[in-house]
A and B are shown apart, each in its own frame.
Chain A
């Protein structure tokens, strides 16, 4: 082993951290290398010297100084506004509050997201809730009838499900459109024109979309627009 390697282990060796065989290479090297032996002697003497440094007694004035500083801090504290005192009392708990708030925010986002997804799946009840004044519902295409085979085979029923869902969404959109038009009757002409143009555009997109998910998606876009329009109106009236 080189002197460099041995000297890197010297501190651990002198502190008794190289137990048993692990200390043997260092011991062996020190027996033969005068220079390393001297370094080891110096380091041991230094370590012993550090350990033998006489203790330093604190001056008697230290305690008085501590008490004076604590008293001064109390006076400063009492002169601070109450809200700052309260803030400093809560400050040590800030990390825990931060974590709790983070968890709460994450839970809220999750709940809102799940509720939003659920709302999209059952648009009709939401549409009824959000509309301000319910005028008589407009006629809507009835959903296709459910056909169940006499032998209990439900594959035909499952195949018809997308069409039924589309019809449900279309029905909800039609109902909401009728309600929104009732609201729009009282709007200025230019605003009503913009509204009707947008509705026509969305309706055309829905009609053009393929039956099933694409058309449901297009009707949902129409529903969202109508809800927004109704909500805007509701807010504007307050």
Chain B
């Protein structure tokens, strides 16, 4: 059991951290591991163990956000200004700005960005975790990145 924990702790905690934020990440990760260990006997192996664990993580994170009632999330019609000033060339604060913008994204967009871009999972894996079609996954990623670009402002090389 402990071996399984050590194998997945970084990814589970990392995903939860990116999706629900630093404050609640530990609580969500705990919930995920408890569900994993209690549900392991009933795991039927329909998907890879990692896919199952990541699905539990994403679902637990999204449920946590829903419970928390974070209605200040950005909706399609109400996009806030991003206070950070873009630094076109070398941007040492890019990581923290990305994390800040990530937290302003709608939860679904955040989940696909975290799975695909942060964790580097394939579209097929993302689709299995989010229980949607690969095409849906790709279009969600496209929209999520477009929203992030809008929130973040110019980040690329302007030369």
Q: Would you give the 0/1 interface string for A4-36, flagging 1 where the beta carbon is closer than 8 Å to chain B?
A: 000010111000000000000000000000000
Question: Contacts A11-B138, A45-B155; is A57 near B149 (CB within 8 Å)?
Answer: no
- CB contacts under 8 Å to A, within B112-132, are 113, 117-118, 120
| Contact partners of B148 in chain A: CB under 8 A | 46
The reply to whether B9 and A62 form a contact with Cβ atoms under 8 Å apart is yes
Instruction: Bin the interface of chain B by size.
Output: 35 or more
Please state if B34 and A53 are interface contacts (CB–CB under 8 Å).
no
Q: Could you tell me if A58 and B117 are in contact, using CB atoms closer than 8 angstroms?
A: no
Q: Which of A66-74, A106-114, A143-151, A176-184 contacts B (4 or more CB under 8 A)?
A: A66-74
Interface residue? A98 (CB, 8 A): no
**Complex CA distance for A55 and B158, rounded to whole angstroms:** 28
Majority-rule SS of B interface residues = helix
Contacts A11-B145, A44-B156, A46-B145: A56 and B13 contacting too (C-beta < 8 A)? Answer: yes
Question: Would B156 and A45 count as touching, CB distance under 8 A?
Answer: yes
Complex: how many Å from CA A73 to CA B120? 34
Task: Assess the A92–B113 pair: CB atoms within 8 A.
Answer: no
Which residues of B have CB within 8 Å of A46? Answer: 98, 145, 148-149, 152, 155
Return the contact of B34 from the options A41, A45, A47, A73 (Cβ within 8 A): A73
Interface footprint category on A:
20 to 34
CB of A50 within 8 A of CB of B118, answer yes
Task: Given A51-B118, A56-B13, check contact A66 B98 (CB 8 Å).
Answer: no
CB atoms of A49 and B34 under 8 A apart? no
Q: Which of B11-42 touch A at CB < 8 Å?
A: 12-14, 17-18, 22, 25-26, 29-31, 33-34, 37-38, 42
Looking at the assembled complex, report how far the CB atom of A43 sits from the nearest CB atom of chain B, in whole angstroms.
Answer: 6
**Contact between A56 and B26, CB atoms less than 8 A apart:** no
User: Are A70 and B34 in contact (CB-based, < 8 A)?
Assistant: yes
* With A41-B156, A61-B26, A62-B9 as contacts: A53 and B145 at CB distance below 8 Å: no
Residues of A within 8 A of B70 (CB): none
* Contact for A58 among B10, B18, B113, CB less than 8 A: B10
Q: Please, which residues of chain A bring their CB within 8 A of the CB of B14?
A: 55-56
- Is A49 touching B26 in the complex (CB atoms < 8 A)? no
Tell me, rounded to whole Å, the shortest Cβ–Cβ distance linking A74 to chain B: 9
Question: Are A50 and B5 neighbours in the complex by a CB distance under 8 Å?
Answer: no
Contact between B149 and A62, CB atoms less than 8 A apart: no
Let me know if B142 is at the binding interface, CB within 8 A: yes
- Asked if B34 and A42 make an inter-chain contact with CB atoms under 8 angstroms apart, the answer reads no
A58 with B13: CB separation less than 8 A: yes
B33 x A66 contact (CB < 8 A) = yes
B113: chain A residues within 8 A (beta carbon): 50
Assess whether A63 is interfacial by the CB under 8 Å rule: yes
Bound Cα distance A46, B148 (Å): 8
Of the residues A8, A12, A39, A52, contact of B149 by C-beta under 8 Å: A39
Residues of A within 8 A of B (CB): 8, 10-12, 38-39, 41-47, 49-59, 61-63, 65-66, 69-70, 73, 92
Given contacts A38-B158, A42-B156, 18 further A-B contacts (CB under 8 A): A10-B142, A38-B154, A38-B156, A39-B149, A45-B155, A49-B98, A49-B155, A50-B98, A56-B17, A58-B29, A59-B26, A62-B9, A62-B13, A66-B5, A66-B37, A70-B34, A70-B38, A73-B34
